[in-house]
Amino acid sequence: MKKERKLIIAGNWKMNKTVAEALGLVRGLKIELANVKEVDIVVCPPFTALSEVSKAILDSVIRLGAQNMSPNPVGAFTGEIAAVMLKEFSVRYVILGHSERRQYQKESDALIAQKALAAHAASLKPIVCVGETLAEREAGQTEKVLQTQVPGSLAGLTREQVAETIIAYEPVWAIGTGKTATTAQAQQAHAFIRGLLAQLFDESTARRVRIQYGGSVKPANTRELMAQPDVDGALVGGASLEVRSFADIVKNSI
Ligand code: 13P
């Protein structure tokens, strides 16, 4: 598939996989995806598996991501993890502002922007998540939500930092529900986000940003979604937990 930007397929394992299970999964992925150069492949295990997974993927095309981090560099923040601690395990990416954290941990756009700044300061690439709920979509507020979340979650970033940020459009109603956005719905939202980036930063920056789609991505719907001009990859939840389905998603995106 010829794309303007290199696709990035990331697996968000959420709160799944013990260390032993995580190793089983990445060892299988390493074999399945040994020769894939066309797309960037990222796995985001829970913090507790980062160390072992990091060692297991050393000699592979798979890169490591974390699922969250503190906006603060060090200090009295019980239960938090700082960017430098992630760097110890060669983490390259960090998911920020996932809708589950926005919902359960009440993360705000302003906090997510602080985390994105801290990630860039440590040379980690943030994957900043945005997306509307079902009630918001049904009320015709998808664009209004994105108009708030996109500038709010990227506040204070330079053009260069934005270009190195990945945005994940994840409509909340499509997460874990088996209901994928239609290709038209995904493309429309992605194009809208890119338009916002052009307004907020500039056209050439907007063209560099990779925008992933997330929400019930499966091997069967990958090809069609990735064929959309503004869809530059996928953030995969459930289907990233098994070798077969995640490997097939990567292969079907090529
Ligand atoms: P599912 O692929 O399970 O719908 O999850 C999507 C997601 O939240 C990825 O971050």
- Residue with CA nearest ligand 1 atom 2: 237
**What's the chain's Rg over C-alpha atoms?**
17
| Structure confidence by residue, pLDDT tens digits, 19-64 | 999 999 999 999 999 989 999 999 999 999 999 999 999 999 999 9
Mean pLDDT of 10-15: 98
Ligand 1 atom closest to Cα of residue 178? 4
Q: Which residue, among 66, 63, 131, has the nearest Cα to 96 in the 3D structure?
A: 66
Does 203 participate in catalysis according to the annotation?
Answer: no
Ligand 1 atom closest to Cα of residue 14? 10
The residue behind tokens 């968000």 is 12
- Residue with CA nearest ligand 1 atom 9: 237
| Structure confidence by residue, pLDDT tens digits, 84-134 | 999 999 999 999 999 999 999 999 999 999 999 999 999 999 999 999 999
Tell me, yes or no, if the pTM score tops 0.85.
Answer: yes
- Residue with CA nearest ligand 1 atom 7: 237
Pocket around ligand 1 at a 6 A CB cut-off: 12, 98, 170, 175-176, 214-217, 235-239
Ligand 1 atom closest to Cα of residue 168? 10
**Mutation pick for ligand 1 pocket among 212, 218, 236 (CB with most ligand atoms within 8 Å):** 236
Q: Which residue, among 151, 154, 164, has the nearest Cα to 205 in the 3D structure?
A: 164
Q: Which residue, among 212, 241, 201, 204, has the nearest Cα to 12 in the 3D structure?
A: 241
Catalytic residue among 107, 132, 164, 170: 170
Identity of the amino acid at 190: H
| Structure confidence by residue, pLDDT tens digits, 140-180 | 999 999 999 999 999 999 999 999 999 999 999 999 888 88
Does 170 participate in catalysis according to the annotation?
Answer: yes
* Beta bridge pairs of residue 10: 42, 235
- Please give the distance, rounded to the nearest whole angstrom, from the Cα atom of residue 138 to the centre of ligand 1: 20
